[in-house]
Structure 1
Amino acid sequence: MRRACCLPHALFIATSWSGGAWAQEIHLPEVEVRGPRDAAIGSADSASEGAAERQVFQARPKLRPGDIIEAVPGVVATQHSGDGKANQYFLRGFNIDHGTDFSMKVDGMPVNMPTHGHGQGYADLNFLIPELVSGVSYRKGPYFADNSDFALAGSATIDYLSALDAPFAEVTFGSNNYRRLLAAGSRTLQDQTWMGAVELVGNDGPWDVPENLGKANALLRYSQGSPSRGFSITGMAYKASWNSTDQVPQRLIDSGELPRFGSLNPTDGGESQRYSLSGKWFDKSEVGETNVSAYAMAYRFDLFSDFTYFLNSPVNGDQFEQTDRRNVFGAQASHQMPTKLGVFDGVLSFGVQWRADRIGEVGLYNTESRERLSTVRSDKVSQDLLSVYAQQLVQFNERWRGYVGLRGDILRYDVEGREPVYGPVNSGSGQDSLASPKAGLIFTLSPQQEFYLNAGVGFHSNDVRGATITTDPQTGLPADRVPALAKGHGAELGWRFQPNEDVTATVALWQLRLDSELIYVGDSGSTEPGRASSRRGIEATLRWKLPKGFRFDVDAAYSRARVPRRTARG
């Protein structure tokens, strides 16, 4: 797979304006902008949780918006099939594809898409506006009760600012016809703040067939309240289209029959749209903290790919289309409160989460030049995931503290096959449920050092079309079903060292075991067999703030993944 080249030469123009309505002499209250705080001695519950400071990830060069997720130590994000497609992610021995075992949220809304036309857990971050991101907080491993679907290897939460220091506009021009316009601003009166942003991006890339990326992005947010109580309402809109050259045979490049940046099918590419409306309300007091949020989302996706060209169909070619049309609704509520268990102080956290995906069409079609020729699969899917959780933290003494948690998830689904031949036999409905215990123990050796032991059960959901399938739509042969919820077990031993506010070092030894990796494959419309697997590794980080604004960051990770060999039975 080939990555688009970065922009070697770019012209960047930035302006700040102050005129008209922005120049009125109004005495505004002080606006304090904060991102999530990094985990610290006394507050962290594992060695592999933390938060990236805004100055750090904003200073890193980013080829695409999704690259911001590399602020999470150990995460690698790459790309193929055009700038409008979701990144490919790697973490803790997983090729996570586009997000199967790595949960991502932006401004409280989930990014991962279950039962997606291209791949389970598809997490497209191209709607991000990096300049508006206030912080990236992360946790690795299935050790915390509030982490939901897809968080087996880890999770990341990306937050947006609620106010800007000053309005600004940026215009960027680069090689390969790259151009970008970003304008953003906010206005605060008393306890009310409006913030808006618009982004327009275009790029052709170095390809012989221009990528012709066209992206439009917009955000509007209203927030009101104080640091102890308030609410916000946010609307987002995103639309993109692109061409992609995909992979090409190496032998054609070696022979000179095809240029290095050439293409065998100039009609490959895609379109994606995402529109959302969300709201959040919070209340903080001495007796506890309550958070309530809800969201609604409309999502559209079309991807045209051609991996084998004329292998299967010498006449029409092997291009195929993957499509997804859905509306997503969700809500969550959580409460955190101090508790007293005998002589021990503690903190109790509990909550409920609900997500509903109403997928009007998720399909796989054979195409030529983006025109449909035949249907492999076309389904209407409805699925609901309802979750409850609770986690109790106990402070045993000055050196020891620990927590136990329990999470319960129930997934209900209905698949209605619309392809006339195999659609009826691959239809069905059902449900699956899972209880996931969590636990952690923390020992404070000194005010500068802590040790952590964490363990837990986590899961990722599978494409529910694989939970109802009986017949492979490509071959007509019997197909294996997948479990709707796939369970995994994880454990971790960690150490954190913080001699002062400027230095943090962590080391974590971890392991993950999956009961099965049988998955539904969107590229073929059927299931792919897989066995139980195990992964283990070590991760280390160093954060060192130097004088005069310099900073030294080092991340290192080593992992080993193994699938046991099949044993013959007599």
Structure 2
Amino acid sequence: MKRRRGPGSCGWLPGCSCSRGLPALAVPALAISLWPAAARADQYERCVRSAKTQAEIDACAPPDKPIEVRVRAKPPARSASDVEVDAQVIAASPHGSGADVLNVAPGVFVSDRGLPGRAPHLSLRGFDGTSGQDVEIFAGNIPMNQVSHIRSPGYADMRLIMPEVIRSVRIASGPYDPRQGDFGVAGSLRMDLGLAAPGFWLKGGVGSFGTRRVLIAFAPEYDEMMDTFAAFETDATDGPGGARGGERSSFVGQLGGGNEQVDYRATVAIGSARFDFPGYLPQALVERGGDPYAAQRPLGRDRTSQALIGSEVVWSPGEGILGIGAFAGKTKTTFHQNLTGFALDQLAGELVVQSDDSEMVNDASTFGLTVLYRHAVDITSKRDSIEMGVYSRVDSVDQTDTRLFEDGTRNAALVDATIDATNVAAYADLSLYPIRRVVLRGGTRLDSLSYSVRDRTSNAGLERTAQGFVVSSKVMADVAVRGGLHVVASYGEGFRSPQARDLAEGERVPFTKVRSVEAGVRLKEGRSFQGSAVGFGSWLGNDRVFDATSRQHVEAPASVRAGAQLVMSARSGPFGANLSGTYTHARFTGSDARFAKGDPVPYAPAFVLRDDVFASGTVGRLFGKEVTVRVGAGVEGVAGRALPGGRDGKDSVSLDAVAAVGWRGMELALNGTNLLGLRYYDAQYVYVSNFERGLPPPPPSPHVLVAAPTAWMLTLQIHVRGTPREPRYE
């Protein structure tokens, strides 16, 4: 029997819960509906596929065989603030890369967007997640975070994922799910991949600052392979001021499908990017009228290459669900930069001889395997279920940080190390329905991490080893008050692994642990309205803050965050809107040489506001074919960014929008970014820099990356559907 699969079919590894024929499970991922008079004969299927409008679909003669329909179900929510943002919201405003798409998730602030050659700076609920150190990130079932990366543990570069292949983004704020592991401190972000519709896609565009882009993609016209697609992208830009130019190319493909018993996915992402790095300008220079798009000299460069693969198989042996997943990756990042000029020798009290120019390289290989089994149990009711899973991951990392002479040749090795890291984990998760309208979920996860570090800059390259384990508990209660109104309370513990080079021989691994609570309400009225209002608090064992002198993120004292979040999503006919607002009060609860108890945690904004609105519809007919129009806009505001030394960061507001007209599979779109024309700071850091060799170093001061001015891009998209062939009879 054939079936029609809904978009984003269920996969267990990225947080999706599956169920086939198991009504006892909390959230089934398979729903079967039977219509006695409806079915799917070949003639009916061809008619539906060739239809261009809903009216033409309705006119198709109904078949006479039963049809089995598969729909997608989200995994069970672990907190009131769990949100999934769909493709309509993603398409409401222009996005330059997969990293930019994460901006649509509530509470997420993506900065350093003007540096397309490196992972973006992520903030979530007051956590200055840097490039992923506090946020667990998945593309499909591929983990994007890199262990013990030289720039920051958890470094995650999503810029090689095209916005067009991101079908939805799900955010789980807080460490409330036993499936969450390393780096799931502030929460998790999961991107579901797939094309909007089957067929052939060709998209090209040109825009401001010499920007040009080409996208080629296709997906088969075959229901049992609705998760299958392949996409290629290449783009290039000169950047504002001509100092942020570069090129990027990538391929993302997925083989996905299944039948009544088995679902499978295999995802591949391969690509590379190389962009100029302009450095950060002194804020005082910009505010005195200096060129906001100038670059520090010598001009730096960023290069990334990635080859990632992930696979998952989920099937129903008997009355349970068994899932097996595997992933592997080969990544290399190179940063050639000079943030501080000639300050390093001066800060060390030495005679200035050479510049602070340096090259950082991180070359890593990753392999992993996961297995889970879920089954219904009868503890408090027949709806109860239990899930157990195991997780394993092995990373091998070669990293160097080399100081260079002014002519670009090697001066001295600051870092030269090889790191082997192994993470083995197991978890158990129990869902109980003790009384009507009440759901209790809870579980425990145990992670064991082991490290071997060969540091060739000290001790003649002797190997240091360290190992340790961490236990994390999670629990939540969900009470259905009436209709779609729920009251939800959650508690969870999470952890972040350390920078392996900092470990001593024989040391028990010093994990950074977080304890987090959240309570609130969520309301769902079908697709017409969804919303939530929550309060939350998190206590972090020790923080990490960016330090420009070392060009890395270094240890900082313990900290606490408390705040509130409001999220609303509304749909009415062709109109839709997503609105979110997050406030976080973040303070250090400990002290060290740079920060005192009570100081604000720097760089992460206190307020993050996001609003995406869109509308689409048919406005007429041309040569008998419908003319469609869609418009959308995304506005984001951030405020309350604290900077080290008691300074206040600059607030910012940005508005991006798109307007498009479509006819016969073609769409012409005009994208605009920073339409308000505001000169805001895409990045703000405080540190000492001195680009004049003979002058004494000034005190620490703010340095900024000015966001690009108003920019436009015109794109033409062509979408061609396959034409079913009539069967041939010999």
Measured after TM superposition, the shift of residue 164 of structure 1 is 3.7
SS of equivalent residue, structure 1 residue 294? strand
Structure 1 counterpart of 2:512, from 463, 466, 486: 486
Taking the TM superposition and a 5 Å limit, the aligned residue runs for 1:277-356 are 277-284=309-316, 287-313=319-345, 314-343=352-381, 345-356=383-394
> What is residue 7 of structure 1 aligned with on the other side?
none
Structure 1 match to 2:586: 561
> What are the superposed Cα offsets for residues 136-181 of structure 1, whole Å, 9 maximum, x if unpaired?
1121111111111111111011111178422110011011110000
**One-letter code of the match for 2:370?**
Q
Pair 1:184-2:217 in alignment? yes
Higher mean C-alpha displacement, 29-38 vs 532-541: 29-38
Q: Within 5 A, what are the aligned runs for 1:157-556? A: 157-161=190-194, 164-188=197-221, 191=224, 195-209=229-243, 211-226=244-259, 228-253=261-286, 259-284=291-316, 287-313=319-345, 314-343=352-381, 345-359=383-397, 361-367=398-404, 368=406, 370-419=408-457, 421=458, 424=461, 427-468=463-504, 483-517=509-543, 524=550, 528-547=554-573, 549-556=574-581
Deviations 1:78-128 (A, max 9, x none): 116721111101111111111111110001011111110211111111111
Map of 2:153 onto structure 1: 120
Residues 467, 508 of structure 2: 8 Å contact kept = no
TM-aligned CA deviation for residue 512 of structure 1 = 0.4
Task: Count the aligned residue pairs.
Answer: 525
Distance 1:295 1:29 in 2: 40
The separation in 2 between residues aligned to 1:435 and 1:281, in whole angstroms, is 28
Q: Supply the AA of the counterpart residue of 2:234.
A: L
Paired residues of 1:170 and 1:182 also in contact (CA < 8 A): yes
Q: Any conservation in 2 of the 1:132–1:160 contact (CA below 8 Å)?
A: yes
Does the aligned pair in 2 maintain the 1:38–1:50 contact within 8 Å? no
Match of 2:92 among 50, 59, 63: 59
Q: Helix, strand or coil: the match of 1:196?
A: strand
User: Does the 8 Å contact 1:162/1:223 carry over to 2?
Assistant: no
**1:260/1:45 Cα in 2 relative to 1: closer, same or farther (>3 Å)?**
closer
Q: Specify the SS of the correspondent of 2:88.
A: helix
Shift of 1:441: 1.2
Identity of aligned residues (%): 21
Q: Secondary structure at the match of 2:436?
A: coil
The letter of the residue matching 2:578 is D
- Matched residue SS, 2:431: strand
Q: What displacement does 1:64 show?
A: 3.5
Shift of 1:244: 1.4
Partner of residue 131 from structure 2, selected from 77, 98, 101: 98
Q: Is the 8 A contact 2:113 2:120 kept in 1?
A: yes
User: Distance between the aligned counterparts of 2:453 and 2:548, measured in 1?
Assistant: 15
How far does residue 523 in structure 1 lie from its aligned partner after superposition? Answer: 6.2
Query: Which structure is larger by alpha-carbon Rg, 1 or 2?
Result: 2
Q: Kindly provide the CA deviation profile for residues 536-558 of structure 1, in whole angstroms up to 9, marking residues without a partner as x.
A: 100011111123x1012210111
Change (3 A) 1:29 1:524: farther
Unmatched segments (≥5 aa) in structure 2: 1-42, 50-67, 346-351, 597-730
* Aligned residue number for residue 22 of structure 1: none
2:416 maps to a residue whose letter is S
TM-superposed CA distance for 1:133, in Å, is 1.3
Q: Which whole-Å CA distance do the structure 2 matches of 1:499 and 1:212 have between them?
A: 46
Name the amino acid aligned to 2:186: A
Cα–Cα, structure 1 residues 330 and 498, in superposed 2: closer, same or farther, change >3 Å?
Answer: same
TM (norm. structure 1) is 0.85
The offset of 1:380, in angstroms, is 0.5
Deviations 1:1-22 (A, max 9, x none): xxxxxxxxxxxxxxxxxxxxxx
Instruction: State the TM-score, normalizing by the size of structure 2.
Output: 0.67
The whole-number CA distance in structure 1 between the counterparts of 2:325 and 2:121 is 29
Asked if 2 retains the 8 angstrom alpha-carbon contact of 1:243 and 1:266, the reply is no
* 1:229 Cα offset (Å): 1.1
RMSD: 3.0
Cα–Cα, structure 1 residues 447 and 187, in superposed 2: closer, same or farther, change >3 Å?
same
Contact 1:38 1:52 in 2 (8 A): no
